[in-house]
Amino acid sequence: MKHLSFGFLLIFAVISTATAGVELVSDNYFPADSEFADLQKISSEITFADPARLLRIDNGQLFSDVGFEKYAKRVYTLGNSGSLSVEIITLRDARAAYSVLTLLRSGDIYEGPPGDSFTKTADGIRFAQGKQWVCIQGHGASADLDRRVAMSVSNRIGPHTPKPPSLVSHLPKFGYEPASLRYYPSIQSFQSYSGAIKPKHFRLDSDVEIAQAQYAVNEYTGTLYLLSFPTSEVAEDYLGGLAGEQSAGKGADKVYAKRAGPIIGVLEGSFDPGTADKILGSIKYSYLIKWVYQKTGKPKTVWGIPAGILTTVVKSLFFVVLLAGIAIIAGIVFALVRIMYRRYRSKQSHDQPEQDEMTQLKLL
């Protein structure tokens, strides 16, 4: 017994030693202590989930509009008197994070890692992964420190899925300028951030996604807006209101529109009708139908018995009856075979009696 207790203590000590250096990540995505020698110490740290405190943060209104959940930021001091900040904002969903990435950037967007998608800045990296938007900025940092820290944060967040919102995939490729892409997951974010660039003829009073990009074909330039409405009927009603705006102006004021399912493409600029038709003509939308079984919130009852329990009982009874039927049929078949065999043996005994002799052992 003494040896058994000592063995348990030894196993516990080994497990404790092995897990002593393991850090539970949970929702803390910052680099671990001493993970990077360049990050000497944390000079400041802030964490909050109160949306009211976003007013003190740069672009706080945008984070609020797309759907804010949590804000966290650390500033590290470097050995050369420089600094590096890691800002992690948790938003409503992946669409919100991708939207912030497209709006708060100054260059092209690349497929991750780090993150699902990322963009480079003059002093760091910004990336979106899941519903997290991460901004890493260095001042006086080494050339690759921001990328190594970004990879560490990305690995702690989890696996990345480089798949932008489906509306972005509907943007036509003809004349498309990728660096100009802007994505808005809601009308609130579009109205607050687009500002002066918002088209005058946009009168949106329903929930809608918007993807915006610049297009240039030969000497023609302009802007395409893809509007994704909840249903095709809502999109059709909105398109009817735009009918008077199409091609109403001259020069850069021309407006063209096309509907594909619940998506409406609005193209404005100096395009002639032929070029506008080439751009808008590639907007397609196809429906995908899936059968989904959805349980109702209130269980059904039959004769006062819950339908689920009654179904289980009926299935069990059916299974028992099925087994009984199989057993009866098997018994009948076996009996018939037995009777036929005995008749055959009886006939043989009359024809060849000497072959039916049996030796019996009698115990007294």
Consecutive 10-residue runs of the chain (364 residues): their mean pLDDT? 43 42 58 86 91 90 91 89 91 93 89 90 90 91 86 90 88 92 89 64 74 92 91 85 56 78 90 91 77 55 64 82 90 88 74 54 58
CATH class given for the domain over 26-157: alpha beta
Say how far apart CA 236 and CA 95 lie, in whole Å: 25
For residue 103, the SS3 value is helix
Say how far apart CA 189 and CA 183 lie, in whole Å: 9
In terms of Cα–Cα distance, which of 152, 148, 118 is closest to 135? 118
Query: Which residues face 212 on adjacent strands?
Result: 182, 225
Residue whose token pair is 């209104």:
61
- Condensed to tens digits (0 to 9), the pLDDT of residues 55-70 reads 888 889 999 999 999 9
Q: Are residues 101 and 93 in contact, defined by beta-carbon separation less than 8 angstroms?
A: no
Q: Where are the alpha helices (DSSP H) in the chain?
A: 2-19, 60-66, 94-103, 145-157, 187-194, 232-242, 273-280, 307-351
End-to-end CA distance of the chain: 59
Neighbour tally for 25: CB within 10 Å: 13
pTM: 0.68
Q: Are residues 210 and 184 in contact, defined by beta-carbon separation less than 8 angstroms?
A: yes
How much is the mean pLDDT over the chain?
Answer: 80
Q: Which residues contact 78 (CB under 8 A, 6 or more apart)?
A: 38, 39, 40, 84, 138, 140, 141
- Condensed to tens digits (0 to 9), the pLDDT of residues 145-187 reads 889 999 999 999 988 777 889 999 999 999 999 999 999 998 8
Check residue 119 and give its pLDDT. 92
31-to-36, 73, 258, 339, 343 alpha-carbon distances in Å: 8, 12, 48, 84, 89
Check residue 1 and give its pLDDT. 46
How many angstroms separate the most distant Cα atoms in the chain? 125
Neighbour tally for 17: CB within 10 Å: 9
Cα torsion 27, 32, 36, 42: sign: positive
Domain positions in the chain: 26-157, 166-280
